[in-house]
Amino acid sequence: MALLAGCNAQKVDTTTKTTESGGGGGTTTGTTVGTTEGTPTLRVTTYPSFVDAPSTSPGAWVKETFESEYDAELKWFVPNNQLNYFIQRKNQGVTIDTDLYLGLTPENLVHADEGVSDGSLFDSVDTGGFENIGHVEDTYRFDPQDRVLPFGASYISLVYNQNMLDEQGVSAPETFEDLTKPEYEGAVICPNPQNSETGLEFLFWTIIQYGEDGYLDYWKRLADNDIRILKSWDAAYAAYSNGDVPIVVSYSTDQVFADQYDEPMAEHQIGFLNNQGYAYIEGMARFAGTENPGLAADFMDFMLRADVQSEIAVRNVADPVVDNADLPSDFDELTKEPEEPVGFGYDDLSGNVSGWLDEWSKQIATQ
């Protein structure tokens, strides 16, 4: 690859592969980067769950493996305000001091582009020399300007407790309309779209299903049927796990989690409404103006390798975005996919997300 201007790490000639790290993933929460003299430092922003459980989260493994192959230090950065932290700094003309953002969704990118007053928060990367770029599935690409590369995916779906439904004498819901029926009154929890990516993408899914003119009416009927809207996915899933309700809006990879923790599989069934699932895609992008553009590109190349994609998928309980990842057979069996994947692209979301969410907040959240 023709290396971009800036500091590049030299790949270390090694065949050693690590499988687990007991460290903390090098996570930082400040804004100052410390460097080891003579060793370039790559600072990558991500979300808490990617790094907060060293024995299971991907972050510690990614850090250790990347550092074992490249003459570089990887530091994770998890700001409290996530993307808004960088939008504010960009608009204030303050140095960002971070090289790459890991965990961008299409709506995140729209928010960044609409929130930055001058230029773009991210820049494009020449991927011509990336080892595995030809195996990235086109369906997961969502940035028309090619600044963001996907690295993980899943589907928003229902997760339901079959035992609880059996006790209540009802079958699992199969359609959006089913959720408005009397037998499911008070039976569903959804994370709040104002605070949760999971809830927000479920909201998008209802807009795809009912259109801009009909989604609020559908949500009013859900509210009339006593759907519970909790602040976050964590809160929603905790309530579901405690047996408060038999159904929660969550992810189609839930059975992987259940299998890892020896949970009864009947309590972790996957439901695709209308045989659909909303595609949840996570991407990575290099910050414009980084002092380490080449090293950031190296990391993106690394993250798309088949072996790295395989490991991240298992640890992050998600689907890989490349078609040549070698996954354990039981993992393939436990990750469910809908007959019809649906989702909004960048152009669909541009200029619309704030309006949709504002209307939902006024008419549903305030009830």
Which helix or strand (DSSP H or E) is residue 109 part of? helix 106-115
Q: What is the rounded distance in angstroms from the CA atom of residue 186 to the CA atom of residue 79?
A: 36
Helix, strand, coil content of the chain in percent (nearest 5): 40, 20, 40
Q: Per DSSP, what are the bridge partners of residue 143?
A: none
Given a cut of 50, is residue 353 above it in pLDDT? yes
| Nearest alpha-carbon partner for 228 in 367, 70, 84, 21 | 367
320-331: pLDDT as tens digits: 999 999 999 899
102-122: pLDDT as tens digits: 999 999 999 999 999 988 999
Given a cut of 70, is residue 182 above it in pLDDT? yes
Say what the pLDDT of residue 53 is. Answer: 79
Say what the pLDDT of residue 14 is. Answer: 32
CATH homologous superfamily for the domain 154-278? Periplasmic binding protein-like II (3.40.190.10)
Strands 247-251 and 148-160, bridge-based pairing: antiparallel
210-260: pLDDT as tens digits: 999 999 999 999 999 999 999 999 999 999 999 999 999 999 999 998 998
Q: Which CATH number fits domain 27-153+280-334: 3.40.50.150, 3.50.50.60, 2.60.120.260, 3.40.190.10?
A: 3.40.190.10
Q: Where are the alpha helices (DSSP H) in 291-328?
A: 293-303, 306-316
Given a cut of 80, is residue 341 above it in pLDDT? yes
In this prediction, residue 18 has a pLDDT band, given cuts at 50, 70 and 90, of very low
Say what the pLDDT of residue 17 is. Answer: 26
Given a cut of 90, is residue 351 above it in pLDDT? yes
Cβ 159 vs Cβ 256: under 8 Å? no
- Residue in the block written with tokens 């599935």: 137
Higher pLDDT, 134 or 23: 134
In this prediction, residue 38 has a pLDDT band, given cuts at 50, 70 and 90, of confident
Rg over CA atoms, the chain: 21
Mean of the per-residue pLDDT values of the chain: 89
Given a cut of 90, is residue 21 above it in pLDDT? no
88-98: pLDDT as tens digits: 999 999 999 99
Look up the pTM and report it. Answer: 0.87
Which residues are CB-neighbours of 21 under 8 A, at least 6 positions away?
54, 60, 61, 63, 64
Q: What percent of the chain has pLDDT over 90?
A: 83
Domain borders along the chain are 27-153+280-334, 154-278
Does 27-153+280-334 match 154-278 in CATH topology? yes
270-287: pLDDT as tens digits: 999 999 999 999 999 999
